[in-house]
Amino acid sequence: MYAVIRTGGKQYKVAPGDVIEIERVKDSSGKLSFTPLLVVDDDGRSTSGRSALQGASVDAKILHESRGPKTEVNKFRNKTGYRRHSGHRQTYTSVEISGINLAPQKS
């Protein structure tokens, strides 16, 4: 079983037990819950749509935070004396997916 979740403006394909790095999440409880965009179960049936996934959730546990590689930005204009230099390091949160819970199906 796997699910597609959205966080930080990106989408991730996750399964129980996966460890992924997402953009920094400020959460002191240590547990996260995502609403899936798509869920594919072990039989190959896919479930998507807001109404079908109303009560579904993807549970995760926060492992640690780390910082990504440094990105350097240089701007230069010839013969004008214009030079700018800046840098950025994105902070990431490592998350372990603990389970995918589907909503009970209505008969």
Query: Is 87 within the bounds of a domain?
Result: yes
Q: How many CB atoms lie within 10 A of CB 33?
A: 10
Report the alpha-carbon distance of residue 96 to residue 101 in Å, rounded.
15
pLDDT of residue 105: 63
Report the alpha-carbon distance of residue 65 to residue 67 in Å, rounded.
7
pLDDT of residue 46: 87
pLDDT of residue 106: 60
Query: Is 106 within the bounds of a domain?
Result: no
Query: Is 51 within the bounds of a domain?
Result: yes
Query: Is 69 within the bounds of a domain?
Result: yes
Burial of residue 88, with CB atoms counted within 10 A of its CB: 0-12 exposed, 13-18 middle, 19 or more buried: exposed
pLDDT of residue 14: 95
The torsion angles phi and psi of 80, rounded to 5 degrees, stand at -120, -10
Query: Is 107 within the bounds of a domain?
Result: no
Query: Is 75 within the bounds of a domain?
Result: yes
- Range of the structural domain that residue 17 is part of: 2-101
Q: What is the per-residue pLDDT across 19-72, written as a single tens digit (0 to 9) for each?
A: 999 999 987 788 999 999 988 888 888 888 888 888 899 999 999 999 999 999
* Count of structural domains within the chain: 1
